[in-house]
């Protein structure tokens, strides 16, 4: 996700913004990998269709919806809010 997010940066991730409306295109979110529940990924929402989310990394050499497909809302842990 460079240069927007660099290795070692600390991020505040919150689900609160999604109490008042679902994730939107362009949001940077933390999600659980659909096949590896313990693996948390940072991706950007690229498209939403029928409550299914397409997530893409800023750099096209990563693993994202092109490899693991669309993800459900339940896989989204929270929205990126701030760095500290």
Number of Cβ atoms within 10 Å of the Cβ of 53: 23
Compute how many residues bind another protein; rule: CB under 8 A.
24
Q: Is 70 in the site for another protein (CB under 8 A)?
A: no
Q: Is 18 in the site for another protein (CB under 8 A)?
A: no
72 forms beta bridges with 52
Give the integer Cα–Cα distance in Å for 74 and 60.
24
Give the integer Cα–Cα distance in Å for 51 and 41.
19
CB of 50 to another protein, least distance (A): 26
Residue of the chain from 23, 53, 55, 57 that contacts another protein (CB under 8 A): 57
Which residues in this chain contact another protein in the complex, by CB under 8 A?
1-2, 5, 10-13, 30, 33, 35-36, 39-43, 57-59, 61-63, 67, 84
């Amino acid at each position: 996700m460079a240069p927007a997010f660099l290795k070692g940066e600390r991020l505040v991730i919150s689900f609160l913004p999604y109490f008042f409306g679902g994730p939107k295109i362009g949001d940077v979110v933390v999600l659980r990998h659909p096949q590896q529940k313990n693996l948390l990924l940072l991706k950007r929402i690229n498209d939403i269709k029928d409550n299914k989310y397409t997530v893409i990394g800023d750099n096209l050499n990563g693993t994202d919806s092109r490899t693991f497909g669309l993800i459900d809302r339940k896989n989204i842990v929270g929205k990126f809010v701030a760095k500290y």
